[in-house]
Amino acid sequence: MLPVALDCMGGDNAPREIVAGAVAAFREHDVPLVLVGPARRIRGLLAEHGMAGQIPIVHTDESLDMDEGALASWRKPRSTVAIACELIKHGKAGALVSAGSTAGVVATSAVRLKTAVGIMRPAIAVTLPTRPRPTVLLDAGATADAKPEMLVQFAMLGTAFAQIRLDVPHPRVGLLTIGAEAGKGNKLSKKAQELLSAAPIEFAGNVEGHDLLRGRVDVIVTDGFTGNIALKTMEGTIRVAVNELRAALTGSRTAKIGAALQRKELQALTARFDSETYGGGVLLGLNGAVVIAHGAAGARGIAAACKLGYDLSVGGLTERVKDQLHAATKPSRFSRRHPADPVGGPPAGG
């Protein structure tokens, strides 16, 4: 099986924690890896783990800064991320893992890997810590201006992702909109509803903001603007709620005692809804899976990201999407609802 290309210079704790994570992934999960970054330095770190020479290294001195924006791909043709993408393109790696700046990683990999055949735009999928099962939300910010057809493709990408990530054979897909009834929403979501009902996926209808954490569906689809705002609103709300509670708990003396008894529970809650824990996002829709680990990820987070990247490439993410697109473009299914002249147009304010 193809190894996972790991960007050793991305993230706040690079390269030390990244390499430590690689070692953990290799030892604990048998993930085949290729490390991309400054060879000598990486070799040294591997040696510290007694792993010198046991994981292949592809050398490059260039790397993306954490504040790197969309121009990264052009400004740094030999960045660790760019090189990792080349490895995938040339069939030397099956997935890319980086804890680098999301904007930089998205821009670079989109330019280098290109979108898969039939996919218009990539989408970032995040796995929300819902109960009893997690929920996949996409797009979390890769495509801010989406067309209805793109949301349908996001639904397919999310379905393929959930099949592998959540091990659900037929993931139920919900459309994030306002008002649960069909026909509610803005122009984009109304058109998307129509197309989604005709798509070869398990469309479960509309979900609203308060359903985000209810685990009612396996996949929640939306445009990158709405998805990013919903996600950050969720994170920010949890943070505020926990802080407020902490404050309240130091209010009365009895409460103080209670607080002491429960610091653990509060921490657990914060942790569970912290993107660092539920672990960054995955850029879907390109020729190769791109796992964007949290910038602050430590060895544990990196190891998990490598495992996920490996699972996605072994699970044949790209092939699954291809199959769905194929099913979707069968005249019998699609042409009815999919006039030659592109549908949708301005989803909002047009």
Site residues for a copy of itself per CB under 8 A? 141, 144-148, 150, 176-178, 185-189, 208-214, 223-226, 228-242, 244-245, 248-249, 251, 254-255, 257-262, 264-266, 268-269, 272-273, 344-350
Closest residue by Cα to residue 289 from 133, 72, 113: 113
**Minimum CB distance to a copy of itself smaller for 52 or for 248:** 248
Q: How far is the CB of 190 from a copy of itself (least distance, A)?
A: 9
Q: How far is the CB of 6 from a copy of itself (least distance, A)?
A: 27
* CA–CA–CA angle 166, 4, 132 (5° rounding): 15
Beta bridge partner(s), residue 219: 136, 173
Q: How far is the CB of 282 from a copy of itself (least distance, A)?
A: 18
Q: How far is the CB of 104 from a copy of itself (least distance, A)?
A: 13
**Minimum CB distance to a copy of itself smaller for 33 or for 221:** 221
**Minimum CB distance to a copy of itself smaller for 32 or for 134:** 134
DSSP H or E stretch at residue 5: strand 4-7
d(C-alpha 284, C-alpha 272), whole Å:
24
**Minimum CB distance to a copy of itself smaller for 213 or for 314:** 213
Residue pair 143/122 in contact by the 8 Å Cβ criterion: yes
**DSSP annotation string for 94-117:** SEEEE-S-HHHHHHHHHHHH-BPT
Q: How far is the CB of 204 from a copy of itself (least distance, A)?
A: 17
Q: How far is the CB of 239 from a copy of itself (least distance, A)?
A: 7
Which positions ≥6 away from 21 have C-beta within 8 Å? 6, 297, 298, 299, 300, 301, 302, 303, 305, 306
Q: How far is the CB of 295 from a copy of itself (least distance, A)?
A: 15
**Minimum CB distance to a copy of itself smaller for 20 or for 110:** 110
* CA–CA–CA angle 277, 279, 283 (5° rounding): 165
* CA–CA–CA angle 279, 283, 287 (5° rounding): 140
Report the SS3 class of residue 224.
helix
**Minimum CB distance to a copy of itself smaller for 242 or for 314:** 242
Closest residue by Cα to residue 181 from 153, 154, 205: 205
**Minimum CB distance to a copy of itself smaller for 101 or for 108:** 101
